[in-house]
Amino acid sequence: MGRGDIKTKKGKTFAGSFGKTRPAKSKVAAKKAAVKKDAK
């Protein structure tokens, strides 16, 4: 259980992959974040 374990969040971060444990930001969430950032 660590950087080599792809089933854990730390392992997914190290491997650069996404899935149920480490969901990628959806396009909707990314768009909302960009709009919120521009509003400031």
Q: Where are the domains of the chain?
A: 9-39
Full-model pTM? 0.53
Residue 40 has pLDDT above 70, yes or no: no
pLDDT digits (tens, 9 = 90+) for 14-29: 999 998 888 888 888 8
Q: In the numeric block, which tokens belong to residue 6?
A: 């792809």
Residue 8 has pLDDT above 70, yes or no: yes
Q: DSSP letters along 1-40, please?
A: --TT-TTSHHHHHHHT--SSSSPPPPHHHHHHHHHHHHH-
Residue 1 has pLDDT above 80, yes or no: no
Q: In the numeric block, which tokens belong to residue 5?
A: 């374990």
Query: So what's the pLDDT on residue 15?
Result: 92
